Chain A
Amino acid sequence: MQDHLYNFLLYLGDNALILGHRLSEWCGHGPVLEQDMALTNIALDLVGQSRNIFQLAAKMQGEGATEDTLAYLRDATAYKNILLVEQKNGDFAKTILRQFFYDAFNYPCYQRLMQSSNKDIAAFAEKSMKEITYHLKWSSEWVIRLGDGTEESLRRINEALEDLWPYTGEMFKYADFEIAMTESGVFPDAAGIEAEWEQEVKNIFAQAGLELPEKAWMHDGGKHGRHSEHLGYILAEMQFLQRAYPGQKW
């Protein structure tokens, strides 16, 4: 049971960290100054959330574990994030759609975590909800803007949709640690999330003039440490100093 809880925490933390890392790659390169700041803002929130979760996980693990040993000293196969969040930024449309798919999923997840039987998780989820609500609002508005903008923006967001859709199924393919958490009330009523996600996506797509794709083959494996090639490069970059100068304080 403790193992499941630990893995569940890593899963939550890894999703936030890897997506935050990806978004931070935009910093200084955004399409307009205000959106550059918004992207970095969300990156900051996500990395901040991952720190909170890793601190809980590190406390469970003991043996000198810290938020940083968890982020910097695990290799790709020990990372449990979904494949969606490690996908490359691509153009602004791809970044927006990746964010929207994640936010529309994360929002109902954290609503449930606020009701968690684990007090630490419930408190953390409550604290994060304001941020997550803003993220979803921001990414939804941009999906609508790009879908209902120009011909070019519509073409680009449709291309992003084609690329990213096969990564959406993994969110709802629950791993053993998620099932255990649902059964124990740490992550109550997970089964309802998919329907809520779909409803939200349909609603925003309708306003954006986008069509939901047909059922497609879905990639998975991230929750079990089987990632795309991208994650190795993310970690190589992120972990460079900790690996090159082991055991130092920074």
Chain B
Amino acid sequence: MEKNLEEIFQAKIDREEKIEPKDWMPDAYRKTLVRQISQHAHSEIIGMLPEGNWITRAPTLRRKVALMAKVQDEAGHGLYLYSAAETLGVDRVELFEQLNSGKAKYSSIFNYPTLSWADIGSVGWLVDGAAIMNQVPLCRCSYGPYARAMVRVCKEESFHQRQGFEILLNLSKGSQAQKDMLQESVNRWWWPAMMMFGPADGDSPNTQQSMKWKIKRFTNDDLRQKFVDVAYEQAKVLNVTLPDPDIKWNEERGHYDYGVINWDEFWNVVKGNGPCNKERLAARNKAWDEGQWVREAALAHAEKRANRKSKKVA
């Protein structure tokens, strides 16, 4: 029986039909999705911190408003994604607790600090740019609620990416100090952005299964290559040098070759040794703990109101 269900399920996926919350699905598929969607939601929420770091210092009112709107969009993405995860039978509070305890992972990129205004541009151009490469294929993910959430997320992300690029383009046309600020920022963000696609294909054991389930459509290395090809051309427009002496066009492959990623750094940041891992988690825990009495008050008040209403009716 179980075997049969699994065959029906896989056949459905092979026909490019969406799996919906009430459909039968293998436990491992459900688990993979819960892990991936919640990690994605957590990344949106943690991602608010490095960007929010510059809201109070944005250099013009126009930039301040745009940055606030952007960070608010990230909160919105978190909400859609937590809702998508909830369709798989976990609740938001449980997921928050996993994040706060350090049990759940989120995108390691947000463990790097935003040190200059140019970083707000770099996060948009490189980090959102890499995220879009990852996320556009997810709009066709086999799980319906995730795919639909991603359609909305991607629309806003591409807007964010353009906004980030525009911040940098502006710096590239500015004073020498602004150009230096731009280059210094790209130097710091390039490699962490490259790491956002995850381990090389040979070291990514779940990729094959995820591709069979059509949760994933491309391998990590395929997406990374796409990113390098696009970013290299954009870097020329910005007049910045990517901090990789090995980047060069490979006629035979029709792609840019690139240098070796420091996987030691990658795994260390994943394990919690990045420059801001502790601060990010501490900030989330503080917000959650200090919000406890607010959430309790809202619940208590709602109950009192409901009681008063039912008394009135009686």
Contact = CB atoms under 8 A, between A and B. Distances in A.
Contacts of A237: 56-57
Interface string A89-124: 001100000000000000000000000000000000
Contact of B283 (A21, A29, A48, A238): A29
A149 B298 contact: yes
A27 B60 CA distance: 18
Chain B CB within 10 Å — which of A27, A37, A67 has the most?
A27
Contacts of B293: 150, 152-153, 156
A237 B53 CA distance: 11
Looking at chain B's contact residues, the main secondary structure is helix
A179 interface: no
A31 B287 contact: yes
A27 B287 contact: no
Contacts of B301: 144-146, 148-149
Interface stretch (B26-34, B70-78, B202-210, B221-229): B70-78
B272 interface: no
A40 to B, nearest CB: 4
Chain A CB within 10 Å — which of B287, B301, B304 has the most?
B301
B61 A54 contact: yes
A250 B59 contact: yes
B300 A68 contact: no
A27 B291 contact: no
A44 to B, nearest CB: 5
A214 interface: no
Contacts of B162: none
Contacts of B155: none
B49 interface: yes
B55 A33 contact: no
A28 B71 contact: yes
A31 B300 contact: no
B63 interface: yes
B174 A31 contact: no
B45 interface: yes
A71 B65 contact: no
Contact of A27 (B68, B76, B295): B68
B71 A33 contact: no
A100 to B, nearest CB: 15
B65 A51 contact: yes
A43 to B, nearest CB: 6
A29 B287 contact: yes
A21 B287 contact: no
A182 interface: no
A228 interface: no
B72 to A, nearest CB: 4
Contact of B286 (A29, A32, A48, A145): A29
Contacts of A34: 79
A48 B175 CA distance: 28
A71 B68 contact: no
A47 B173 CA distance: 27
A118 B213 CA distance: 64
A33 B78 contact: yes
Interface of A: 17, 21, 24-25, 27-37, 40-41, 43-44, 47-48, 50-51, 54, 67-68, 71-72, 91-92, 144-146, 148-150, 152-153, 156, 237-238, 240-242, 245, 248-250
Minimum-distance CB pairs A-B, first 6: A31-B291, A149-B297, A153-B297, A28-B48, A31-B294, A250-B59
18 contacts: A24-B56, A28-B52, A28-B75, A30-B291, A37-B72, A37-B76, A37-B79, A40-B75, A47-B68, A68-B60, A91-B290, A148-B301, A149-B296, A149-B298, A150-B293, A150-B300, A153-B296, A248-B178
Given A29-B283, A33-B82, 10 more contacts: A27-B48, A28-B71, A28-B75, A35-B294, A47-B61, A71-B61, A145-B298, A153-B300, A245-B175, A250-B63
